[in-house]
């Protein structure tokens, strides 16, 4: 019988932990403030990002923090990178802004490398600046470091449910900068044997069928994409595999969610399975809060006192 890997407990526990830190930070004169940049004008991506950002913003406000959302997707394509860079430079200088998210994926005409190179590593919630990416290539501390939110959230769920990836064959479907690529690196640091599959991979299903753990992070459900669609189903995995579903998109016409994994068929074969609603999404949101608290301490240590200690 499948065990559901749910994120509610982790999310609630992290919010309570974060509230305590907000009170402590306010006592020394600083309040966590998250700034979010929306740049993608693709209808599916924009609707999905708006939904994600509204949930993140609600979480931050519920712990006593503040949020600023910048809708840059209406700027002409030829000016969007320049306007984003101008805003990022302003946010870097503002001591009241303690965390920044450049919401991915970005449209192809935006210079992603330039944006993340310009962003202060001190305020980088998603750990996507060049300096923060380097951390994953050596070692990382799941409790103390600012790490990519969804990969770190998945690893926290594994720890919570006692899922050990050491020596296991793990398949990550999707090689995106936000989830697939950093997650693969983090899993290798934990001594998993990792295979990353993507749109150009040949014969993906044999790899998936052999895997002890399958993490689906594609975000191209067949209902919304005819080009390179993807959905993981029960007949594609081996009996007893651990399955994590990450990819989900919102149909802008119906406002309905569609996901990477077919819950019903996978539940008949998997030993552990994340629900499409209430699983990885909540773990990701929990990690956003944890990272925001950490970046707020970094700002506070620079602005107020280097002796202000961050306690897990």
Distance CA 66, CA 98 (A): 10
Give the model's pLDDT for residue 99.
Answer: 98
Q: For residues 270-274, give the mean pLDDT.
A: 98
Q: For residues 136-165, give the mean pLDDT.
A: 95
Q: For residues 137-163, give the mean pLDDT.
A: 95
Q: Kindly tell me if the per-residue pLDDT of 3 is higher than 90.
A: yes
Q: Kindly tell me if the per-residue pLDDT of 275 is higher than 90.
A: yes
Give the model's pLDDT for residue 135.
Answer: 84
pLDDT digits (tens, 9 = 90+) for 247-258: 999 999 999 999
Give the model's pLDDT for residue 308.
Answer: 86
Report percent pLDDT > 90 for the chain. 94
Which phi and psi (to 5°) does residue 28 adopt? -100, 5
Give the model's pLDDT for residue 212.
Answer: 98
Model confidence at 7, in pLDDT bands (50, 70, 90)? very high
Q: What is the pTM of this model?
A: 0.96
Model confidence at 309, in pLDDT bands (50, 70, 90)? confident
Distance CA 308, CA 298 (A): 9
Mean pLDDT value across the chain: 96
Report percent pLDDT > 70 for the chain. 100
* Tokens found for residue 73: 């997707």
Determine whether 304 is exposed, middle or buried from the number of CB atoms within 10 Å of its CB (0-12, 13-18, 19+).
middle
Instruction: Return the residue matching tokens 């720890």.
Output: 159
pLDDT digits (tens, 9 = 90+) for 175-225: 999 999 999 999 999 999 999 999 999 889 999 999 999 999 999 999 999
């Amino acid at each position: 019988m499948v065990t559901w890997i749910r994120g509610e407990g982790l999310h609630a526990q992290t919010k309570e932990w974060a509230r305590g830190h907000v009170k402590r930070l306010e006592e020394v004169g600083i309040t966590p403030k998250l700034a979010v940049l929306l740049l993608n004008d693709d209808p599916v991506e924009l609707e999905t990002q708006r939904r994600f950002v509204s949930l993140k913003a609600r979480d931050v406000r519920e712990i006593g923090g503040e949020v600023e959302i910048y809708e840059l997707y209406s700027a002409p394509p030829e000016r969007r990178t320049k306007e984003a860079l101008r805003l990022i430079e302003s946010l870097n200088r503002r001591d009241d802004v303690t965390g920044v998210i450049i919401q991915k994926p970005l449209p192809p005409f935006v210079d992603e490398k330039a944006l993340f190179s310009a962003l202060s590593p001190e305020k980088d919630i998603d750990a996507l600046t060049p300096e923060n990416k380097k951390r994953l290539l050596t070692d990382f501390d799941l409790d103390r470091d600012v790490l990519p939110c969804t990969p770190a959230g998945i690893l926290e769920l594994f720890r919570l449910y006692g899922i050990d990836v050491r020596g296991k064959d793990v398949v990550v479907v999707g090689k995106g900068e936000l989830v697939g690529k950093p997650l693969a690196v983090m899993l290798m640091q934990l001594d998993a044997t990792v295979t990353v599959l993507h749109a150009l991979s040949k014969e993906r299903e044999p790899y998936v069928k052999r895997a002890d753990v399958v993490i689906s992070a594609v975000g191209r459900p067949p209902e919304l994409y005819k080009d390179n669609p993807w959905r993981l189903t029960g007949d594609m995995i081996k009996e007893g595999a651990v399955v994590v579903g990450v990819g989900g998109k919102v149909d802008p016409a119906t406002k309905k969610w569609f996901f990477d994994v077919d819950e019903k068929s996978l539940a008949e074969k998997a030993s552990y399975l994340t629900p499409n609603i209430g699983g990885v999404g909540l773990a990701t949101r929990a990690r956003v809060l944890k990272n925001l608290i950490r970046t707020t301490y970094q700002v506070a240590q620079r602005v107020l006192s280097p002796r202000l200690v961050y306690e897990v």
